[in-house]
Structure 1
Amino acid sequence: MNFKRVYRLWKQEGLKVPVKKAKKRRMGNADGGINRRAAERPNHVWSIDFIFDRTENGRSLKILSLIDEFTRECIALEVGRKFTGDDLVHLLSELFVIRGVPSFIRSDNGPEFISKSVRSFLDFIEVGTSYIEPGSPWQNGYVESFHSRFRDECLACELFGSLAEAQAVIESWRQTYNHRRPHSGLGGLTPAEFASQWAASATVAALPPRKQPTANSVTQSLLS
């Protein structure tokens, strides 16, 4: 009698074969929440999370949402059937080239976010990770609030016939949210308007102060 024979007889009788469970490393604490690390400027803190839906045939949709916490812009709504850590690295690489590199990315302890590939990539380009405490979604409140609006205004109203249709409809909603939907937390501005105005004011503030004219310079100007 050996292990292989026991295993074969166990399966033959239809008994449940115990699966060895790997221990998960839980990361994060309350210091990673929005109250302890608040966004102070665009590209300071991005929030990331998943929300789920289904196509008409019952197959699942996994939607990754990415939010700039300062401007409330929806940076990405990536729709797929599945999403791995390597997929996340590829998406972030593209977004960093387009929008710049954030200081921190806030997320929960999902396997995609704490995967070795994602953490190695973020460490390499010196992007800080801000993992919230396990079982505390309120510590990632901006993306949770966004998901509530996204569910009510899009997912609950649309029946997707295919993955391609879901991608097109959801991207259209994202553009509307960023450019045409006023946000009460931004003084009635859309996220895109708020980001544009903040960038303009930051540019003006960075300009050197204008030299005030003196009496001598005015006199010399009049004489010339």
Structure 2
Amino acid sequence: MESITGDGYAYGYRKLTHMLRQDHALVVNEKKVYRLCKELDVLRPQRKLRQKHPRKLAQNRTITAPNQLWEVDVKYGYIAGEDRFFFVLSYIDVYDRQIVGYHIGLTCEARHAVEAFRAALWKRQILRRNLPLPIIRSDNGPQFVSHLFESECERWNVLHERIPPKTPNMNAYIESYHRLLEDECLSMYEFETYAEAYQVVVEFVSRYNNRRLHSSLHYLSPAEFYRRHLETGLQPRRPVRV
């Protein structure tokens, strides 16, 4: 019984097995230690797992206006001069194709996804104008399955839906944007520093939003199409289905 509390610590059967091997040179395996602890009724209670937020699977939808559905994902690039990676997290409005919020950094955690989401809400003036909040669609990356990100969505009463594994076509708009980011930006540079990579990606996002033409948006840039939609009700050339 004394060994079970090993130096004042409440050990489980796995650590207890290693302690018995090290301190008493016993030839014993974990299964036997578990069985003996169970017979002596000294097994530690199972740790209670925190209740996770239930996953909401992505649904097929027809999007009829901006700010109804934002897709989010993470892309990484390489800094040759520093031999390390950096990350770009982006939110895209699937209706007008505009990047409404993004994060660039040497790390990409749940808090960065939350900060970029808040910035996007303010950029689109959704909170100030008391507009309905968008649905957020993501994959099952660690940033998006985290307690912090899910709590943020609950705070704003935002529906967060996640695509099933191995179905990138259900996140098609952000995947398409990241292909452009790779082909027209990241693959064209051999970055020497993080500062250089950061500046190049910022310039690309601005060029994409304000200058890059989209055939589905009447050959307008995302920002110009968004402006005309607000002013005249201009619709995309084809229905937006996700």
Q: TM-score, normalised by structure 2?
A: 0.70
Query: Identity of paired residues, percent?
Result: 30
Select the residue among 64, 74, 80 that pairs with 1:40: 64
- Correspondence 1:149 to 2:180: yes
**3-state SS, counterpart of residue 63 of structure 1:** strand
Give 1:6 shift.
Answer: 4.1
Partner of 1:4: 19
Partner of 1:177: 208
Distance in structure 2 (CA, Å) of the matches to 1:41 and 1:4: 63
Q: How does 1:209-224 map to 2 (within 5 A)?
A: none
- Correspondence 1:98 to 2:123: yes
Change (3 A) 1:45 1:77: same
Partner of 2:74: 50
Partner of 1:127: 158
Give 1:129 shift.
Answer: 0.8
Give 1:38 shift.
Answer: 3.2
- Correspondence 1:188 to 2:219: yes
Q: For the Cα contact (< 8 Å) 1:154–1:173, is it kept in 2? A: yes
Give 1:60 shift.
Answer: 0.9
Partner of 1:84: 109
Distance in structure 1 (CA, Å) of the matches to 2:53 and 2:226: 37
Distance in structure 2 (CA, Å) of the matches to 1:134 and 1:152: 25
Distance in structure 2 (CA, Å) of the matches to 1:120 and 1:151: 32
Q: For the Cα contact (< 8 Å) 2:72–2:91, is it kept in 1? A: yes
**3-state SS, counterpart of residue 127 of structure 1:** coil
Distance in structure 2 (CA, Å) of the matches to 1:108 and 1:84: 14
Q: For the Cα contact (< 8 Å) 1:109–1:131, is it kept in 2? A: yes
Change (3 A) 1:93 1:77: closer
Partner of 2:94: 69
**3-state SS, counterpart of residue 150 of structure 2:** helix
- Correspondence 1:107 to 2:138: yes
Give 1:97 shift.
Answer: 1.9
Q: For the Cα contact (< 8 Å) 2:91–2:117, is it kept in 1? A: no
Gaps of 5+ in 1: 9-21, 204-224
Change (3 A) 1:25 1:188: same
Change (3 A) 1:199 1:155: same
**3-state SS, counterpart of residue 113 of structure 1:** helix
Q: For the Cα contact (< 8 Å) 2:134–2:158, is it kept in 1? A: yes
Distance in structure 1 (CA, Å) of the matches to 2:161 and 2:108: 20
> In structure 2, what residue type is equivalent to 1:128?
L
Q: For the Cα contact (< 8 Å) 1:77–1:171, is it kept in 2? A: no
Change (3 A) 1:7 1:81: farther
**3-state SS, counterpart of residue 112 of structure 1:** helix
Give 1:90 shift.
Answer: 2.2
Q: How many residue pairs align between the two structures? A: 185
Give 1:106 shift.
Answer: 0.7
Gaps of 5+ in 2: 1-15, 24-48, 128-132, 235-242
Q: For the Cα contact (< 8 Å) 1:28–1:109, is it kept in 2? A: no
Give 1:50 shift.
Answer: 0.6
